[in-house]
Amino acid sequence: MADDFTYGMVRRQLGKATSATARKNEQIADMADHIEELKSNYNHATERNWEHRCHMRALEAERDVLLEALDVALGGKENNPLREAVSDSEDAPRIPVGPRAGQPVEHRDEIYFAAFAKEAAKAPSAFEIFKRPMDLIRRGSIFR
């Protein structure tokens, strides 16, 4: 049996070790919470980015369909004055400049998002999804 001095010393050391372990566990839990918060913020930003991309692709597809309809009505691409104003080059501004802030999602967006999600599930990478975005949009039957 240990004397009172040794017992007190061991008890103090165990108390210090226990509190140090508790502090480390709290730090680890705080770090895990911080990492989860960062993941959540990243996921929300990524989701908003994908929704914005989908919306832009849908608007560009609508523009293309309207231009093709005007081409037919005016007797060909060369007779369509809007063809000169529209460009698909990288330097040309995308229309419109941003997403429709504050407006509800429309039916055509829901159709496109559903088609996009189905195609995205099949694709092995983001490159495959966006390789031919206009085909993806047209296959998504957004113009119903």
Instruction: Kindly report, residue by residue over 101-112, the tens digit of the pLDDT.
Output: 566 666 666 666
Alpha-carbon distances of 62 from 2, 55, 58, 68, 123, rounded to whole Å: 87, 11, 6, 10, 24
Alpha helices in 1-144 (DSSP H): 4-74, 82-85, 107-122, 126-130, 133-139
Residue range 134-141: mean pLDDT, rounded: 56
User: pLDDT tens digits for 66-75?
Assistant: 778 888 888 8
- Please name the amino acid found at residue 48: R
Q: Which two tokens stand for residue 45?
A: 């930003």
Nearest-angstrom CA–CA distance, 105 and 48: 13
